[in-house]
Amino acid sequence: MYITTFNSSKLLLAFLIIFSISCSSDKESVSSEKSSWSMSDGIEFPKDRPLARAEDGVMLSNGTLIVADQRYGLAKINSSGQVEPFGNFESLGYEHNPPKVESGPNGVHLTPDEQYVITADVFSGKIYKSSIEKNSTEIIYSHEFGVNTAIQDSTGAVWFTQSTENKNEERLFGALDKRISDGALYRIPHNDESSSQMPELVLEGLNFANGFYIDEDTNKLYLSEMMSNRVLAFDVDISSGSLSNQTTLAIIPTPDNMELNNDGHLWVASPLSNQIYAIDIENGDSYVVFDAQTPIGQKNMQEGIRRIEIGNGFSDLLSPELTGDMPGLLTGMIIGEANQPFYVANLGAALIEVSSK
């Protein structure tokens, strides 16, 4: 069974976007009531920008980071900032050598038992599973189009988003130049036998499906629909893989990767606004929890929202003036325990480390 998404009223959407921005821009009132940080609170990590397209990543219990890296597939970063390839992607013939071969490791997530890392390739469509103990990787599925994010649930099923019907970077960004409703969410059922399972279509008709999060404690699935400026929420039945009761949890500009923070708020990255939002999953209220927005970036954000409303795109607005001091375009966050720092992921060559104390 699959669900075709519906479009909400444009008038209501415009009102909610304006309301969300006006609420999040009142930084003095926010900082007095809730924890929030800015670029001045962070430092680049590792030093000297040794990474390559660190779009997403995970933190192990000892503080070690495993992040997407376009050169290696994955890179491991120890607490001292030393970087080395991780997962032995080379044994699979992995390479990034455009225009001949384009690879784009993107969403990176731990399995529920925290023994493996699941990595989605947004250009090639491959989904990788890497053993943390063995430092080895296998390809568990090769999709026809790029895969933005892949997550394994407690049953062993793997869910993944297709942002658009792209097979390279150019076509991916084409779906940011105008609204193309070919995004989708799939689920690969777990199979105890050696034969691979084919994915089931769960959602279709999405306007650039991006990051998502499965909260099995509350039986909820949250999903970023980037080119609709909204975070969707569903009731999820993990055993059957079915979704129901679609609602719009929050309206924020261009939602991207997301994670549930230790305080129960859903953190969602917004590349166009160069910020991370914290969303109350009970009522959808949101505020800016990390702010790297520049004055030019704020103008570009407002223009991008206007364009998206009429079905146009914003990729030309993602300029160095928008990203400011960020190493690259802000795309996500890496969250560990409450006493550990969090890291801001991006399309550049370093993360931003922020002390959460």
Instruction: Kindly report the pTM of this predicted structure.
Output: 0.92
How long, in residues, is the chain?
357
DSSP state of 19: H
Residue owning tokens 């079915």: 242
**What pLDDT, on a 0 to 100 scale, did the predictor assign at position 116?**
98
What average pLDDT is seen over the chain? 92
Per-residue pLDDT tens digits for 171-188: 999 999 999 999 999 999
174-213 burial, b for 16+ CB within 10 Å, e for fewer? bbbeebbbbbbbbbbeeeeeeeeeebbebbbebbbbbbbb
Choose which CATH entry (2.40.40.20, 2.120.10.30, 3.40.190.100, 3.40.50.10540) describes domain 3-354.
Answer: 2.120.10.30
Per-residue pLDDT tens digits for 54-93: 999 999 999 999 999 999 999 999 999 999 999 999 999 9
The pair of structure tokens assigned to 272 is 């166009």
| Long-range contacts, stretch 336-339, CB < 8 angstroms, 24+ apart | 336/59, 336/63, 337/61, 337/262, 338/262, 338/263
Confidence of residue 192 (pLDDT cuts 50, 70, 90): confident
